[in-house]
Amino acid sequence: MCSLVFIFIHFTFFGGIIMNYLDSFREMISLRGLTDHTLKTYCTYIKAYFQYLDSINIQPEKATWEDMRGFVKYLKDSRNLNDRTINGAISQLRFFTMYVLHKSWDPTQLPMRKFNTYLPYVPSQKDVREFISTIPDLKQKAMVALLYSSGLRIGEVCHLRYEDVSRTDMRIHITHGKNREDRYVPLSKYALDILTQYYFAYDRPRGWLFPQQNCKEKPIDTFFLSRHIHEHERRLGWPERITCHSFRHAYGTHLYENGVDLLTIKVLLGHKSLNSTTIYVHLASPAMSKLVNPLDVLMETSHGTK
């Protein structure tokens, strides 16, 4: 009986401490002006960190670098997380240490992990045309057409408002970009035609362009389209490998294949760094096929001089 009371008191006490830390954590994220999505993401592994500390009977303010390294090792070994995800968890520990505990951060004590990068799958221009033209539902078709024709992120499509689309200037005003920077993107005539059909078929939305079905005051959830994309892949008999972001990558890749320079693509996609845009050099297969191998040039020149 006494041991049960002790356990109850322990969890009540520790739980109260954790809630105080979580409240402070959320407050600092809010003061930093980070998004709700960032708040949700950051809280995921901070909660796991608190649970780990509880399992070794350490309070957060008394945790050492060795304790934090133990948590990262736990994530790697017990939860089988990849290195990119673990780096996200380390970033959350850094934020908690600096902005909640008000302690300095030493990156030599808990370095970021190296990780491999992989080229994403990008559907060909032919596949994109077939995919979009055969989508039966106008809402899904309009959303995919905007993803591809304007290179939008799925969150940007979901947060489009009626007034963001300028039919006169044939452009779209993006106000909910990832980097919190407004930008304009071109509006495709074909995408506008689909959007107009959708508009009249779905009760002429005047607030959110794609509202939730049961609550017109809220934008549609970002996961709505992913499910229907895979459903359409199955309908076409294709393997399930296309995501919402695949169409954004396809936009950048196909622009590069069509001769658009990287700086222009960077502006259209809203990239902060040109490094993010250079991936399309690797993804653009027709551009690669136009390259002349220097060995072939040397050998042809050599044969020509004989």
Are residues 173 and 263 located together in one domain of the fold? yes
In this prediction the pTM is: 0.73
Are residues 77 and 142 located together in one domain of the fold? no
Kindly tell me if the per-residue pLDDT of 251 is higher than 50.
Answer: yes
Are residues 23 and 155 located together in one domain of the fold? no
Say how far apart CA 284 and CA 57 lie, in whole Å.
Answer: 53
Are residues 186 and 41 located together in one domain of the fold? no
In which domain, by residue range, is 51 found? 2-99
Band (pLDDT 50/70/90 cuts) for residue 168 is: very high
| Residue 110 belongs to a domain | no
Say how far apart CA 129 and CA 55 lie, in whole Å.
Answer: 54
- Under 8 Å between Cβ of 158 and 210: yes
Tokens representing 146 are 């905007």
Residues in the chain: 306
- Under 8 Å between Cβ of 165 and 195: yes
Annotated catalytic sites, by residue?
A: 153, 178, 245, 248, 271, 280
CATH assignment of the domain containing 194: 1.10.443.10
**Who has greater pLDDT, 172 or 117?**
172
The domain tally of the chain equals: 2
pLDDT per residue as tens digits for the range 205-234: 999 999 998 888 899 998 899 999 999 999
Are residues 143 and 284 located together in one domain of the fold? yes
Say how far apart CA 28 and CA 23 lie, in whole Å.
Answer: 9
Are residues 152 and 223 located together in one domain of the fold? yes
Are residues 133 and 227 located together in one domain of the fold? yes
Are residues 161 and 282 located together in one domain of the fold? yes
Are residues 219 and 140 located together in one domain of the fold? yes
The region of weakest confidence among 36-50, 84-98, 236-250 is 36-50
